[in-house]
Structure 1
Amino acid sequence: MARIRSIKPELRTSITVSSWPFEVRYFFVLLWGYLDDYGRGVDDELLIASDCFPRDRGVTPDVVDKWLETMAESGPVCRYEVDGRRYLHCPNWPEHQKPQHPGKPRVPPCPDDEPDDFLMWRGANPPRQRDRSRKSREGLMSVSPAPFGASFPPSGGVDFKGETPLKGSVVSLLDRGSSIKPSNNITADQTPCENPHENVVNLSGAPHETLTPEQGAGSREQGSREKDNSAAKPHEADTRRADVEQACQLLADLVHENGSTRPTVTQRWRDAARLMLDKDGRTLDEVLGAIRWCQADEFWRSNVMAMPKLRSQYDRLRLEAQRKRNAGAQLAATGTDGRQLSTADRRVHDAAQLAARLAAEENQ
């Protein structure tokens, strides 16, 4: 059921959202109504397409999956998996949506973006061993023999009246106009269902196809998606790149040095670092510099504690660092009392800043 959501004016000027195609921007707003009051939902393209576009047949599950992947690469949407089921959520949901009477959460939190909430949820919902194989029929259901002398209405000239049914025989009515003849190798003394794949009479004369457990048509659980693991994504082979690992390890080390629990470097971390380097055009030095700056800033160190968050906030970090650098340069030129410094005073100040920076680099 769709829900009422708020749209902030900042959405119109968002750098990330404005880089998407128009249909993805529209879908992003509709997706808020699909997610629950905590910004989470089942990652099922068919459910999302039917909820967000109930009257648009052209919006197929494949189109929805492509749009979700576009938003996930940019950061506003996170796709994750818990106990073999796929979910998605908006990491910045609390900043933009504040439901007055939130309902009971039914979707598990994201282990990467909501570690505390996930630990609480995991304590109340221990992991269960799920059988991911597709269930099937262990054998063909045998038809219970009719009482002796029972009469069945004739269908296509078939009449069983007065004939003794054979125990354990299964009749496949493939052709209503055909005559049914019991197999000669089945006797009335056989025990029913000795072998579920035997005693099958095929009216066409061809051997009956035997169904194995692997061939059964299992039911698809809501939220589960089976993908071919052999068709790996192109970037999965680069998950252990040296530059990606260096950036991820530096952020994890600095977060730990600031007094927080050392975060786990997950695949989402590596994907975010790789996209910053390859897609966003950032150099490794720029990424490392942004990590050091945000972890040294009292405000940003508590807001950027994961690599996906760093990527989504990179432009804001760059502008904030530039603003503070310009303010420091202006203060150095005028002095603390607003008086214009002489050339000698500026040189002394610059030398002191250089010595402090070199000392900080040696300590690292």
Structure 2
Amino acid sequence: MNYLSISNNFARQIPMLNPTTGEIALFHALLDLKNIDMRFKDKTGKKKSWADSFDPTSATLQLYSGLSANGIVKAREKLKTLGLIDFKSRGRRKSTIYRLLDLSSDKSVVISSDNSSDISGDNSSDNSVTLNKTKQDKTKLNNLSRSESPTPNKKEPEPDKKAKREYDHQSEPYRLAEELKTGIMANNPDHKKITESQLQNWADDMRKMLELDKRSYSQVSNMISWCQRDNFWKTNILSASKLRKQYDQMRVRAMNEWQQQKHKPLLTNEERDGHFG
């Protein structure tokens, strides 16, 4: 596969597949972004191939396709059904992983037999079924799977929600909480006093960003510094919970500003992940 062959094969299949203008726009956006992704090596230092997956952000896809976030969700489901792409959603806080499929003109349109969002490494017909797969077959498979399960999954006991952590002042979560407090007080010396109890709560939200959201200490610190300098966000980010909630939205704008300062046409994956997460 290469850019020209994928584009030409897609154009030849348009009359047969009859995609909407939004689906066409999303496919070409993914093709263009994959072409850009091909410039960079993977984590092992090897040159990437067209069959490799890639993870453009939702904001980038909206920019390249002209579609809304909901429009992208609808269009990608149809493109997957048509056998043009595969994708795996990783939740709200991580970019969806996409992969372009082989668009040979003699290839029949197929969908994954398990109808899941997982990206498969095998494109053979053994792992797919035709579009006329009946719901009855799927029901039989589900019933068989349940019957083979020896015992139902036991629900794990929930942790004691009343237990409250106390963070050492030298711990990374607490230091990030102090950093946010310093930024807020510098912007508004008349801000009401931020108590030790509030700092402990903020530290817990910082911990969630580090452990659950998989952001590094430097990434969160960079975002705190950026948002407390931004004229709009410094009046809105007045707690750690708000910082965590708005992190992805701020990240798009922060990266755009940083990109303009660096005078680069596009941030590399390493720069993108290393500075703001």
- TM surpasses 0.5: no
TM-score by length of 2: 0.35
TM-score by length of 1: 0.27
Report which of the two has the higher share of helix: 2
